[in-house]
Structure 1
Amino acid sequence: MGQTIAGEKVEAVESQTDVLIIGAGPAGLMAAYWMAVCGVKARIIDKRGTKVFTGQADGLRPRTLEIFDSMGFQHRVIHEGHVAVEANFWVPDEAGKLTRQGPHCSPKINESNHHNMLLNQGRIERFLIDTISKYSDLEVERGIIAESFEYDEKLEEDLDAYPITVKLRTLSDEEANPGHISKDGSGSQPANGQGRGSVLPDDWEELIQKSRLRQTKTEIVKAKFIIGCDGAHSWTRKQVNILLEGSSTEHIWGVIDVVPLSNFPDMRRLGTITHSSGTILVIPRERRLVRLYVPVQIVDSTSANRFDRSAITLEMIKSRVQAIMSPYTFDFQICDWWTAYQVGQRVAPAFNKGTRIFLAGDAVHTHSPKVGLGMNMSMQDGFNIGWKLAMVVVGAANPAILDTYNAERHPLAEMLLEFDRLWSGEFTETTDADGPAAPDKADRMVHVVEKYMDFADGLRTYYPASPLVWKVSEEEGPEAARNLIPGERFSPIKLRNQAEGNSKWTTRLLESDGCYRIIVLAGDVRVEEQKKRVEALGRFLSAEDKTMISPLHRYVPIPGRKDQIEVITIHSAPWKEVEFFDFPEIFRPFDPVMGWGYDDIWCDNSCTWDPHCGGQGYEKWGVDRTRGAMLVLRPDQYIGWVGELEEVKDMTDYLDGVLIKMPTPEV
């Protein structure tokens, strides 16, 4: 079948999909997860013949790990990854001798139930791919590139239309599986070759099969929406003429993942080593690996020639590490991966083009990898646009929520670049060759980390007011719950299940399954007045009060789910002094097959056999233990609305603004 696209006559198979995702890195896979969960007809393509196995990103921040918990695979990260909660800074003393300053630990280390971890990107991709397969048959189509693009803006407002046309081409094995040094000079395979020792068993089959190439050589795809997650040189971004704004530094860095042979005391501790000519970042990893970031040369910023990565060798990087680490020794026999890069701190002016084209991850923000945030920011971009777009496509959410993607994620990308400029500057600062580094180097580095800690770890997100975020004010939370601020995450607490007494973190309880959740903080239901307030709320939610409209059973659910809204109740009375059946039935709904909703009622009470279950959730949330409060959580566990138990009309108004109501039955 022939068609003219971008002025070219092509013979190709034609197909349609609701969402086309270009790029199967962490951001793309996060978006694909939501397509699988919500039953969206989607495709995800990637030019690589295989997934990543070694190298690339490796830092995982607490908020990212909380998200993994909600997706059900955080236990795999814990099993394989390396926890990094303390850092040492080595700087020369007045005599020029390297001395340790530290360890330094985050003052907010217990703000999350998860701590910073280190694990290579390839394993995260594996976990995401496996999780997607639990929900649908959506698979990454590898060894495929997009070659041409057309967008019919006249069809933008018609959600049933396919305004996007993309021509796809299947790559040859040679194109899809380049060697160690690709055309841009980055390392795509370990220097000593990949083998069973460097690839875990669940990745081995994909490695030996390489690209699973499709038989069709050319295909024309019509799509309703497209998400470009195709990296810093994003093809998708270029098609819609969105340029990255910013600049590159003059410093060239080498990165190596090695099993070190060294007498340096802190080789297995997170930290830095400062020399008059630069600073090394030391990152201990899984399987005895250690990642080292080291400055290797400075380029002439006035030169018209681009940085030539091929001029940097593995031996050059090793020599620089040895020089900076002296008098300690350094060598290795095993190098899992290495590359060289020039830092480019850039951000796109917008993360979308109209209401059909979205960009995520490195496609819209690039920076130094030394801040350990790139993969986290990229995945959270994909997570954010993924759930919103999936719910719109299946007809469960108002298309206006798509406008919140840029408003929520773009300011964070700008904050990331600001953090990176300060942090990376500490690594490139030099002194006279014969003089020691600045004596306050360690203090300055700690100051930068602590200044951006809430942002970097995801403890604060700063999402602005919007249809998805019902803010009382930009500065303070509602009186009912001082620390539960719309636009921020629901701070994790370990709770005790009322029916069985076992404990569970809220990050696991509140699954990323596409549901909105009404969290009823029921307070102390032993108090008669409070019990009456909870019963009144129950009557409203069960539609017994005919003067008001319950939000339950009111909205279009995602495919495969009975309802869009789930109710979770968390009370504050002592566990033994309250019974499961004391609560109105709407809080513990009965299913004729599965029985009562035993997983729907929880207690913020201490558990003697679980030190993490301390019964301090209400205090952490800033909620009165007697009166309680009520909130609505978005599908991504961010708070959308907060109020008193009686403020049911405001809550319903909030939900009406973002969800699609069920059709009114015909009389």
Structure 2
Amino acid sequence: MQFHHHGYVSGDPRVKPAAGVGLSRPEELPDEVDVLVVGTGPAGMLAAAQLSMFPNVTTRIIERRPGRLAIGQADGIQARSVETFKAFGFAERITAEAYAITEMAFWKPDVANPSRIVRTARTPDDPAGISEFPHLIVNQARVLDYFAEYMANAPSRMKPDYGYEFLGLEVGEGEYPVTATLLHTAGPKEGQRRVVKAKYVVGADGARSKVRQAIGCTLSGDAANHAWGVMDALAVTDFPDIRTKCAIQSGSGGSILLIPREGGHLFRMYVDLGEVDPNDNGAVRNTSIEQIIEKANEILHPYTLDVRNVAWHSVYEVGHRLTDRFDDVLPEDRDTMTPRVFITGDACHTHSAKAGQGMNVSMQDGFNIAWKLGHVLEGRSPENLLATYSAERQVVAKNLIDFDKEWSTMMAKRPEEFENPSDLEDFYVRTAEFPAGFMTEYAPSMLVAPAKHQALATGFPVGKRFKSAPVVRVADTNPIQLGHHATADGRWRIYVFAGPALPGADTATKRFAEWIANSPESPLAATPSEADPDAWFDVKVIYQEDHHTIDIGTVPSIFTPQVGPFKLTDNEKVYATDPAFDIFEERGLDRGGVVVVVRPDQYVANVLPLTATAELAEFFAPLMKPTPTTIPSAAAAGTPTERVSLVGNGAL
């Protein structure tokens, strides 16, 4: 962590100097904002936290509740999310308080006596070692607390505005085209309405989203007509794996997914309540906690569960629903309009809770849209960048729902319905990369280049998340994880994996460094002259040699930029191969040198040879230089049902 480059810091280095809107942030919700985020769930809070790093963007996040969430319904934190927490600076702290899953146990009816359950298998949680981060269990409320702390410490000094319910919106014209109507739900103005105008609105307001309704989207899909009771409980039990994640199938046909919780003692149980009559009209949701506990004891036989305290419980029916778009632009208007309103998380995709994906996928929704809004509002990128949000995340949500249908169906099966006794645990191991959050692969677009040069870096697939690896930082000889130094600061990363020669030699690496530092075609040329040279692009170099052989004084200056008001030299962008882990070998990197471009949300955008400077310039040109004539936003076309094409009206 670097924090003295603007002068000596004696306090908490996580508290960034206030800047931009953070210098005089009004306590009251202003009448006009750049971004209005609706809902302080995981997607909304991550989006707000990312936008808090753009101090010239006025972002406010509202919540109907009068204060912070006390207990959340989501608790599973997949490894991809912990990677994201690392970018926001709290991965180590939340890991310390969380429950870490290392194995999963499978229990099935005893062949000799099917009325009893017996443990039949144990499987590692991450058998392939797909991440250096663990799979965690921690209350959703704590995740939100950490994001709230991050945004409060950010230059914009952001904090949630509690006590506001979103009622509806209209999209019109002007600088602040979205008019949102809110209702005070707490305080002296309770019951009064309030109007706020915004340039953009992000709806993170859950499965009953009013933002979704306002833009004419509907959740479509089906229900599995199968109900589950869920409880967070403290109990005395003789079940030996009460502190291990378990999939339990009983001879009676019922199932339990057991998830130990953080802090010891507490655990969550998803208890199978069986098939639901399609004409039930929601009656199953009246199942009492006593009935859930009784069913759990039936499934656990011969073990017993004496529940002493229930922190929270609910009954739900599995449903898999998805909207066909995640913003306010109709498909037929994609070529003529850019969006003003976006929906994230449960507002646009719902599924069962048993795959532990809801909070995790929702947070990636928030990450995806937030940095794009930041870039557009700061003038880094054109408005058409925002259209990529719906295109990218709708596909991810569809894949999640397809996976969850298969997993939840398997969890609801009776043991005798499986073709092979080990089908459930085999599926768990075979699909481990998906629930861990690493199967997302964005298709080619203005943000993701075709994988033309993928053979140069086979371990960094274009469109997938940048998988970290150990390297050695030359300046201080510290072994580090390369990806862990990519913070959520809105910057693009350009990793230059150098050719075989040392820094002082006249190599392709040196020529590339000269081009990216000085060419008017370089993406770095878009960086404002008054900003640090690495303000928009974080350019790092990784040499193949041992760190002892590298003279940092001979490294091209683009890799040791001068930053801050004192123009201090940053020597922490120069790396060497870790002798215990050859990143070139392990990540399939071409020894002739290769450039890997990574988006602000940690996904690989391009892989290029060192000589392909024209291709790199061509990739970034539409991202960094707004087009002379901006495509009209959806704001110019009225409500979703009133929009008409602007082609032929002089708008294009």
Counterpart residue number, 1:235: 210
Counterpart residue number, 1:397: 381
Change (3 A) 1:218 1:661: closer
- SS at structure 1 position matched to 2:321: strand
Counterpart residue number, 2:14: none
Instruction: Say if 1:278 and 1:427, in contact at 8 Å, map to a contact too.
Output: no
- Counterpart selection for 1:406 from 378, 390, 393: 390
Counterpart residue number, 1:139: 159
Alpha-carbon distance between aligned partners in 2 of 1:621 and 1:503, rounded to the nearest angstrom? 17
- Counterpart selection for 2:461 from 476, 485, 488: 485
CA displacement 1:146-183 (0-9 Å, x = unmatched): 2232122xx3xxxx6222111111114xxxxxxxxxxx
Gaps of 5+ in 2: 1-27, 330-338, 629-652
Change (3 A) 1:129 1:514: same
| Deviation for aligned residue 1:437 | 4.2
Alpha-carbon distance between aligned partners in 2 of 1:559 and 1:25, rounded to the nearest angstrom? 34
- Counterpart selection for 1:294 from 247, 255, 271: 271
Alpha-carbon distance between aligned partners in 2 of 1:442 and 1:616, rounded to the nearest angstrom? 41
Instruction: Say if 1:272 and 1:280, in contact at 8 Å, map to a contact too.
Output: yes
| Deviation for aligned residue 1:451 | 4.4
- Counterpart selection for 2:412 from 399, 420, 428: 428
| Deviation for aligned residue 1:256 | 0.9
Instruction: Say if 2:465 and 2:604, in contact at 8 Å, map to a contact too.
Output: yes
Which residue identity is paired with 2:462? Answer: P
Alpha-carbon distance between aligned partners in 2 of 1:392 and 1:557, rounded to the nearest angstrom? 19
| Deviation for aligned residue 1:510 | 1.0
CA displacement 1:523-565 (0-9 Å, x = unmatched): 4333987x5222212221232xx6x633324245999986312
Alpha-carbon distance between aligned partners in 1 of 2:419 and 2:262, rounded to the nearest angstrom? 32
- SS at structure 2 position matched to 1:410: helix
Counterpart residue number, 1:200: none
| Deviation for aligned residue 1:462 | 1.5
Change (3 A) 1:14 1:457: closer
Percent of pairs with identical residues: 31
Counterpart residue number, 1:203: none
Alpha-carbon distance between aligned partners in 1 of 2:529 and 2:300, rounded to the nearest angstrom? 59
CA displacement 1:442-480 (0-9 Å, x = unmatched): 62223333443333222231200000001135xxx5232
Which residue identity is paired with 2:254? Answer: G
Counterpart residue number, 1:182: none
- SS at structure 2 position matched to 1:389: helix
Alpha-carbon distance between aligned partners in 2 of 1:458 and 1:604, rounded to the nearest angstrom? 27
Alpha-carbon distance between aligned partners in 2 of 1:557 and 1:59, rounded to the nearest angstrom? 44
Alpha-carbon distance between aligned partners in 2 of 1:519 and 1:661, rounded to the nearest angstrom? 25
Superposition map of 1:254-653 within 5 A: 254-275=229-250, 276-288=252-264, 289-303=266-280, 305-307=281-283, 309=285, 311-354=286-329, 355-430=339-414, 437-438=416-417, 443-472=422-451, 478-526=454-502, 532-543=507-518, 549-556=521-528, 563-591=535-563, 593=566, 595-606=568-579, 614-624=580-590, 626-653=591-618
Which residue identity is paired with 1:385? Answer: I
CA RMSD in angstroms, aligned pairs only: 2.5
Q: Is residue 134 of structure 2 the alignment partner of residue 83 of structure 1?
A: no
- SS at structure 1 position matched to 2:314: strand
Which residue identity is paired with 1:103? Answer: R
Counterpart residue number, 1:48: 65
- SS at structure 2 position matched to 1:247: strand
- Counterpart selection for 2:81 from 64, 69, 76: 64
| Deviation for aligned residue 1:412 | 1.2
Counterpart residue number, 2:175: 161
- SS at structure 2 position matched to 1:24: coil
Alpha-carbon distance between aligned partners in 2 of 1:448 and 1:401, rounded to the nearest angstrom? 37
| Deviation for aligned residue 1:599 | 1.1
- SS at structure 1 position matched to 2:217: coil
Change (3 A) 1:227 1:560: farther
Change (3 A) 1:560 1:120: farther
Alpha-carbon distance between aligned partners in 1 of 2:389 and 2:556, rounded to the nearest angstrom? 37
Which residue identity is paired with 1:630? Answer: V
| Deviation for aligned residue 1:638 | 1.0
Alpha-carbon distance between aligned partners in 2 of 1:441 and 1:225, rounded to the nearest angstrom? 52
Q: Is residue 642 of structure 2 the alignment partner of residue 658 of structure 1?
A: no
Alpha-carbon distance between aligned partners in 1 of 2:528 and 2:50, rounded to the nearest angstrom? 17
> Which has the larger displacement, 559-568 or 353-362?
559-568
Instruction: Say if 2:499 and 2:508, in contact at 8 Å, map to a contact too.
Output: no
Count of aligned positions: 585
- SS at structure 1 position matched to 2:218: coil
Instruction: Say if 1:571 and 1:604, in contact at 8 Å, map to a contact too.
Output: yes
Alpha-carbon distance between aligned partners in 1 of 2:418 and 2:302, rounded to the nearest angstrom? 19
Counterpart residue number, 1:175: none
Q: Is residue 1 of structure 2 the alignment partner of residue 36 of structure 1?
A: no
**Given the two structures, how large is their TM-score scaled by the length of structure 2?**
0.85
Instruction: Say if 1:69 and 1:507, in contact at 8 Å, map to a contact too.
Output: no
Instruction: Say if 1:396 and 1:556, in contact at 8 Å, map to a contact too.
Output: no
- SS at structure 2 position matched to 1:56: coil
Which residue identity is paired with 1:615? Answer: F
| Deviation for aligned residue 1:332 | 2.2
Instruction: Say if 2:523 and 2:624, in contact at 8 Å, map to a contact too.
Output: no
Which residue identity is paired with 2:263? Answer: R
Instruction: Say if 2:469 and 2:583, in contact at 8 Å, map to a contact too.
Output: yes
Alpha-carbon distance between aligned partners in 1 of 2:556 and 2:225, rounded to the nearest angstrom? 65
